[in-house]
DNA sequence: CGAGATTACTCTAGTGCCCAACCAATGACA
DNA sequence: TGTCATTGGTTGGGCACTAGAGTAATCTCG
């Protein structure tokens, strides 16, 4: 029985075909494909850690943002901009949080248009538990050395700079 | 009027608070946050280039995969595994492709369970046009130097190895 | 002060993808 | 050869997020 042919890395497979057929920007396509795959697998581990707590990734990020904010409070519009998700998503998430008693809506003291999302005691407890589990899963990046984590963050900063995600 | 305070990089802001509060795995969390942001912004540019062609990112990847495959044909199950999307998604996409005349379903010559997706002439033309536009947008990675693209792909390969996305 | 632009939030509708259940065909093996 | 697990594909339902429009409050500037 012949040794099983080693199945190639999908990214390298596509890069070779891409070049063979003379398509443009092979390196950039391979990088984009890598980014999508790496994101997909990392997200998978991340969300698996959150699932037992009954919250999605975006929901977790909202709660963490509140946790790290002064008084556990932020305007809904801030959350939308900061996390790069649609305003509607924030409205719906805060609805769910309120029903579960994790967050309360409070009027802004001076601007009557805006409402604040404020983390409750229960919300703070939940985000603490979820963070423990997510950290144990390395936030989807388990298995990388500290050096690799640093290099990754640096390369991704290049991407974010090039696409205007970094201030200045 | 005082100079406007430079608003910090959201990733660095969260890393600092994270460490202040003694939360675990600050570096890994910052890397995961970077990955999500970089993915979000890159995807945005990528999909913007595809939108005029009326196809989503996954739809484009399916069509490209067919284009690069022998005879422009692949089993649906292969597409699902290769692109890491749910079988159901492939079924639905191929439904839409058939309606638009981009792909036809054909029975597998020997295995009567499986059906093949085969790229039509129109499908081939569309993917060619879409690739032209997507490449012009650098597949969402416009503005990165070739060296940065290489470094990025390498760092992402680390992630994919650590999470089991690479063969072996 | 007052008209128009802007900002903040919400509602309804829609898209993209996944989950669970299902049937048909195939393969493994006693 | 017959049984049972596995693989391949489809269906209906559901979740997360977005799109576009609508209302209310605030800001800008003549």
* pLDDT in the model for residue A2: 38
Question: Exposed, middle or buried by CB within 10 Å (0-12, 13-18, 19+), for A37?
Answer: buried
The C-alpha atoms of residue A103 and residue B147 are separated, in whole angstroms, by 45
Q: Say how many C-beta atoms besides its own lie within 10 A of residue A91's C-beta.
A: 12
Nearest chain B residue to A70, by CA: B17
In this structure, are residues A30 and A24 in contact, taking their beta carbons and an 8 Å threshold? Answer: no
| pTM assigned to the model | 0.94
pLDDT tens-place string over residues B19-71: 999 999 999 999 999 999 999 999 999 999 999 999 999 999 999 999 999 99
Assign A6 a pLDDT band (cuts: 50, 70, 90): low
Cβ-contact B153, A156 below 8 angstroms: no
pLDDT band at A8; cut points 50, 70, 90 = confident
* A110 interfacial to chain B (CB closer than 8 Å): no
pLDDT at B6: 57
Tell me which residues of chain B, numbers 141 to 160, contact chain A at a CB-CB cutoff of 8 Å.
Answer: 141-144, 146, 148-160
Give the pLDDT score at B91: 98
């Amino acid at each position: 029985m012949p040794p099983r042919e080693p199945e190639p890395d999908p990214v390298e497979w596509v890069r070779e075909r891409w070049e063979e057929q003379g398509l443009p920007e092979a390196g950039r396509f391979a990088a984009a494909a890598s980014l999508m795959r790496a994101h997909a697998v990392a997200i998978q581990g991340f969300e698996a850690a959150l699932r037992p707590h009954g919250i999605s990734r975006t929901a977790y990020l909202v709660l963490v943002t509140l946790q790290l904010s002064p008084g556990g409070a932020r305007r809904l519009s801030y959350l939308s901009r900061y996390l790069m998700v649609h305003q509607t998503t924030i409205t719906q998430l805060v609805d769910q949080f309120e029903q579960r008693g994790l967050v309360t809506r409070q009027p802004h003291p001076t601007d009557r248009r805006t409402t604040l999302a404020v983390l409750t005691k229960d919300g703070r407890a939940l985000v603490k538990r979820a963070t423990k589990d997510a950290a144990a899963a390395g936030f989807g990046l388990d298995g990388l050395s500290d050096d690799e984590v640093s290099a990754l963050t640096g390369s991704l900063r290049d991407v974010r700079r090039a696409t205007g995600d970094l201030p200045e």
